[in-house]
Amino acid sequence: MSLWPDAATATVERRGLRVYPDQPATVVGLIERSVAADPGAPAVAEPGGPALTYGELWEEAERVAGGLQARGAAPGTRVAFLMANSIDLLVGVIACWRAGAVAVTLNTKYTLPELAKQLAACAPLVVVSQPEWLEKVDPQQVPHLLSGIDGLLGRFEPVPLTAADPALLMFTSGTTGSSKRALQSHLNLVSVAETYIRCLELEPRTTTVVAAPMFNATGLNAQCLPVLALGGTVTLMPRFHPEELVELLGEGKATLFHAAPTIYALTTGAAASRRARGLRVAVSGGSPVTRGLVERVRELAPGVDFRISYGMTETSSPAVLTPPGWIDERPGDAAGVAVPVDDVGLGPDGEILFRGATVIAGYDGDVEANERSFLDGWLRSGDLGTIDEDGFVTVLDRIKDVINRGGEKIPSIEVETALCEHPLVVEAAVVGVPHDVYGEVPRAFVAVSEPVGERELQAFARERLAGFKVPAEIVFVEELPRNPGGKVLKPLLRAESGA
């Protein structure tokens, strides 16, 4: 017996994949449907700032799409965005899709060297940046570097698109700790939006507040797209501030909210006796969701329907969701069951595997990564887990040596490499240690040739890494523990750290 509503289980098979029978072929069609239904309805707003109706959003996107086409944007070309959450970012991404190009969302927290690697890997024709981030991009590296979207003007020529066409490129950390390019198709993104709508039983004119950054799948794929598909209103927070989010939820700006557990923890802590108004569905994922956190969210929003989402950037957002009515009845720490258009299985060693309509066809231009990460048509998650007889998926541990800080993944090898660039550092090993708010944070064990201060090394690392990757603590050791083969014994370091 299916645990999903009838609207979610009604699927058809197309090209070997289960999809919803009436879903649009492309993201452009998904949004255009709402534009045609009510062009005067409010589509997007910034707190205390500008707002656009669906008609205005579509017109702005057409103007910018024409400007991108005038600079050579065409099907298959890449347009990268280095922007905080904003109306301009949403307009730019939609414009990119209307021009047939692939949108690339870049992490605004990254440093110039980190971004240089990513830009070299994805080779965008255009980079659109907000003024405050311009200095992070080498203008010699891209044909067109633009400050915002205001100057993008041109005659728009409609472009035919198919479900299989690439739409969005997001960078993700792989099992080796290296950054991989997850290339999401229009089919992937439409399937994600329709899955959330049907599985969460979202209503027309659903509203949401986006506190998660839109360079991640949660902010863009899991919130903006389903709400825009329903003709609802998206409120974009340029940056997450707990107090501001409490106020927005108290004003009734969101009937749907989706964020990492860390955002919920900080927000419920700031709320005190204040309550959210009209919040009907709350979703969380990206790191473990405790039952205690669920209760705190219920105090903030009495009667809320809480769900857990489990997936990867490579699944475009959810592959697993908690079914309706099961958040308290789910077995143990299970996240949920496979969404109707995806399958979830286990590999020979208990690794969780995904396949289906939300799963990418492969990494962009990375044969080796595809060979490592795909097994007989299944995407390897890098997570160990179990699946019970009812299909409930429980994540037991990560195979990847990646630290999960509040949903933001930190490859330990990247931090170790940055530390080892210091002339006095002989060797370094980085592990995750428990943290009350973020779940875990990086701790570095470092051997040095001469005395050096912890703050000096943290400052050195901060010049090369985004702030959230910098070790919260540095422990100085004579040498790192190693096995007979010379491999650093990270399990021993974790045990010493209480992880």
Handedness of CA 122, 128, 130, 133 (dihedral sign): positive
Q: What is the pTM of this model?
A: 0.85
pLDDT band at 483 (very low <50, low <70, confident <90, very high): low
pLDDT higher than 80, residue 375: yes
Q: What per-residue confidence (pLDDT) applies to 484?
A: 41
Q: Which domains does the chain have, with CATH numbers?
A: 6-397 (3.40.50.12780), 402-497 (3.30.300.30)
Q: What per-residue confidence (pLDDT) applies to 211?
A: 96
Distance, CA of 203 to chain centre = 24
The phi, psi pair for 472, rounded to 5°, reads -70, -25
Handedness of CA 140, 142, 144, 148 (dihedral sign): negative
Q: What is the pLDDT averaged over residues 291-318?
A: 94
Q: What is the pLDDT of residues 68-121, one digit of tens each?
A: 999 999 999 999 999 999 999 999 999 999 999 999 999 998 899 989 999 999
Separation of alpha carbons 291 and 298, rounded Å = 11
pLDDT band at 352 (very low <50, low <70, confident <90, very high): very high
Q: What per-residue confidence (pLDDT) applies to 174?
A: 42
pLDDT exceeding 70 applies to what percent of the chain?
96
Q: What per-residue confidence (pLDDT) applies to 398?
A: 64
Q: What is the pLDDT of residues 160-219, one digit of tens each?
A: 999 999 999 999 854 344 678 999 999 999 999 999 999 999 999 999 999 999 998 999
Q: What per-residue confidence (pLDDT) applies to 485?
A: 42
Quick one: three-class SS letters along the chain? CCCCCHHHHCCEEECCEEECCCCCCCHHHHHHHHHHHCCCCEEEECCCCCEEEHHHHHHHHHHHHHHHHHCCCCCCCEEEEECCCCHHHHHHHHHHHHCCCEEEECCCCCCHHHHHHHHHHHCCCEEEECHHHHHHCCHHHCCEEEECCCCCCCCCCCCCCCCCCEEEEEEEECCCCCEEEEEEEHHHHHHHHHHHHHHCCCCCCCEEEECCCCCCHHHHHHHHHHHHHCCCEEEECCCCCHHHHHHHHHCCCCCEEEECHHHHHHHHHHHCCCCCCCCCEEEEECCCCCHHHHHHHHHHCCCCEEEEEECCHHHCCCCEECCCCCCCCCCCCCCEEECCCEEEEECCCCEEEEEECCCCCCECCCHHHHHHHEECCEEEEEEEEEECCCCCEEEEEECCCEEEECCEEEEHHHHHHHHHCCCCEEEEEEEEEEECCCEEEEEEEEEECCCCCHHHHHHHHHCCCCHHHCCCEEEECCCCCECCCCCECHHHHHHHHCC
